[in-house]
Amino acid sequence: MGRQIGALLWKDLIVELRRREQVLSLAVFSLLVLLIFNFAFDLRRTDLAAAGPGILWVTFVFTAVLSLNRAFSVEQDRGTWEGLLLAPIDRGAIYLAKLAANLAFTLVVEVIAIAAFTTFFDLPSNVLQLIAAVLAGTLGFATVGTLFAAMAANTRAREVLLPILLLPVSVPVIIGSVKATAVAFEGVDASTGQYPWLGLVLAFDAIFLAVSFAVFEYVVED
Amino acid sequence: MLAASAQLDSDRRAVSPGSAVESRSNAILGWATAVLMAASLYAVFVYAPIERTQGLPQKIFYFHVPLAWDAYLAFLCTLIGSIGYLRTSQRRWDALAQSAAEIGVVFTSLVLISGSIWGKTIWGAWWAWDARLTSTLVMWFIYVAYLMLRSALGRTVRAARHAAVLGIVGFIDVPIVHMSVTWWRTLHPQPTVANPAGPTLPGSMLLAFFVCLVTFTVLFVFLLRERMAVERLRDDVDELGSMLLAGAA
């Protein structure tokens, strides 16, 4: 199974490296979201601790939804999805490979977005905490997101159906990641440091990685 | 032509056997709901005393909490139906999951609406971003998404399978959402019935509350059975339609 995942992941990465359309367009998109937020809130460096975590996560969530939508729709538009299902590959391997490819694309875009955020505004004081929050939150979003993207890809209204499915279910990830990022911005204080937010997100990651892996075969079986 | 309709008649019996018995037992259940509902109204408005600080608006509680109970019961049925469907691929499990989800969304909507009316009179605002309100709203969104997924995929095996996956993921998510939102904020009144230190409600109010709880549970079972009967009829119509088409060809 490890070799299957490796091969599938390699395929997605090669396709992306040759065409370079997904990461580039998503990076431009995330920069635009940051630009819009700057106008929407008229941001100054002083209100960064209050608004920064929210701005970052809305940007990440929008980007992740777009990225997830493409993961399966590209396969279907090129007609390679049937080929993937016909190949003697474990369904779980398809799920994990798609999850890994998505994580890779989203994380690259997030690094670009954070770099831009740092240039536009400022870097949060606790960088390690920020990295941990971004990794845990992105994983949580991608676990359920990959499962739902496979479901939404079969429908006509997939672009809007995916966020409708994904956003309510990932509310714990959004709350936990925003709070954990807030800790990175202002250090631990009474309102944000009271609960183990990162632990909450990691627990979500573990539960939904297991559940999504277990039920993925029912989503792609046809 | 006559032979064809006789054929259809016998096929219909084959499609849903025992439906006559079922509809009679459900009619009894419907009448029981009506009687219990009258008893509940009596218990709420005549038997139970008027609360000292809140006054009449407190009466909403007798319907609000049983509605929430029904919603959770419905989503539990959706979970059971979803697991049953993924394990057996039998249509009746899917019908259970779908029917319960629809009823659950209706009841969750009623919980949100009745809560808002209460909140407007007691808190002075239709909505507050309190933990229980927020997590109920998120739960409502999860199951609205469930219904939207179903309608996007039509009446197909794929729709049933996708919906079953969401029925499981959504139910697992509800307690996690609740916990995360509770950490985030809490304003809702503390439990007065399921309180670890024993109920804080006076006896007569507690009795009225339990009458309502039983009423709404029976109402839920009645609605669920009716809704599942509709689903069976739909299946019959589909089947007869395809039979007619096959006969015509």
Q: Please choose, from the candidates B225, B207, B243, B215, the residue with its C-alpha nearest in 3D space to the C-alpha of residue B70.
A: B215
A&B contacts, CB < 8 Å: 80
A133: Cβ–Cβ under 8 A, 6 or more apart, which residues?
A177, A180, A181, A183, A184, A197, A198, A201
Tokens read off for A65: 């939804």
Residues of chain A numbered 135-164 and touching chain B (CB < 8 Å): 144, 147-148, 151, 154-157, 161, 164
Q: Which one is predicted more confidently, B197 or A176?
A: A176
d(CA B80, CA B66): 21
pLDDT digit string (tens) for chain B, length 249 residues = 444 444 544 444 444 555 677 778 888 989 999 999 999 999 888 888 888 778 788 888 899 999 999 999 999 999 999 999 999 999 999 999 999 999 999 999 999 999 999 888 888 888 888 888 888 999 999 999 999 999 998 888 999 999 999 999 999 999 998 888 888 776 566 666 666 666 677 788 888 899 999 999 999 999 999 999 999 999 999 899 999 988 876
Plot region of A117 (φ>0 → left; ψ -120 to 50 → alpha; else → beta): alpha
Could you tell me if A212 lies within 8 Å of chain B, comparing CB atoms?
yes
d(CA A201, CA B2): 66
What pLDDT sits at residue B179?
87
Confirm whether the ipTM is greater than 0.85: yes
- Please give the residue of chain A at the shortest CA–CA distance from B138: A168
Which numeric CATH code is attached to B2-248? Answer: 1.20.120
Question: Comparing A24-28, A69-73, B160-164, which segment has the lowest mean pLDDT?
Answer: A69-73
The SS3 assignment for A33 reads helix
Residue B139 to residues A106, A158, B64, B109, B237: CA-CA distances in angstroms? Answer: 27, 21, 16, 10, 33
What pLDDT sits at residue A188?
56
**Looking at beta carbons, which residues of chain B come within 8 Å of A167?**
141
d(CA A30, CA A64): 10
Domain ranges within chain A, ordered by starting residue:
2-219
d(CA B227, CA B232): 9
Looking at residue A54, its amino acid is G
What pLDDT sits at residue B1?
43
